Amino acid sequence: MLPKEVLIEVVRSAPLVSIDLIARRPDGAVLLGYRRNRPAQGFWFVPGGRILKGERMAEALVRIVRRELGEAVPVTGWRGAGVFEHLYDDNFAGVEGVGTHYVVLPHCLDVSADVVLAPDDQHDALQWFAVPELLARADVHPYTKAYFRTEGEGAA
């Protein structure tokens, strides 16, 4: 893990690459976490995390699934769902004038209806949302909504 001062210089200078996790139950509900930290603080957002330097994408996926969703969720069977960009005016540290640019590789997995999850230190809560509900809510982040706006056209 990079020291905060080094990571903020990376955020100031380059895009970060991350993986978002789109977990969906058989009834179509999607898992969202209520974000405790920046960016996207105070919004419902799909779980996810950045890929670390020297970490293969497959390794990052396993690490992120385990950290964000726990042991009950499989680390295999995830399907890529395209490439997205997320641009924020703020950053993880709250440093004024430093925005964050993510190149995001969302991955989808159908999970069982009885999977048991608990929020990690980045989320105050985890909750399942029907897609029409999450699209209608003001407290679901627009970048999360973007994964579902074009569902009929092959999105998550």
- Domains along the chain with CATH numbers: 4-147 (3.90.79.10)
Distances, alpha carbon 84 to alpha carbons 6, 66, 98, 135, 146, in Å: 25, 23, 20, 18, 9
Is residue 47 a contact partner of residue 38, using CB atoms and an 8 Å limit?
no
Please, what is the average pLDDT of the chain? 88
Residue pLDDT, tens place only, 45-84: 999 999 999 999 999 999 999 888 888 788 888 999 999 9
Would the CA dihedral through 67, 100, 32, 18 be positive or negative?
A: negative
127 known ligand binder: no
Among 64-68, 99-103, 152-156, where is mean pLDDT lowest? 152-156
β-pairing, 100-104 vs 16-24, is: parallel
Percent of the chain with pLDDT over 70: 94
pTM of the prediction? 0.88
122 known ligand binder: yes
41 known ligand binder: no
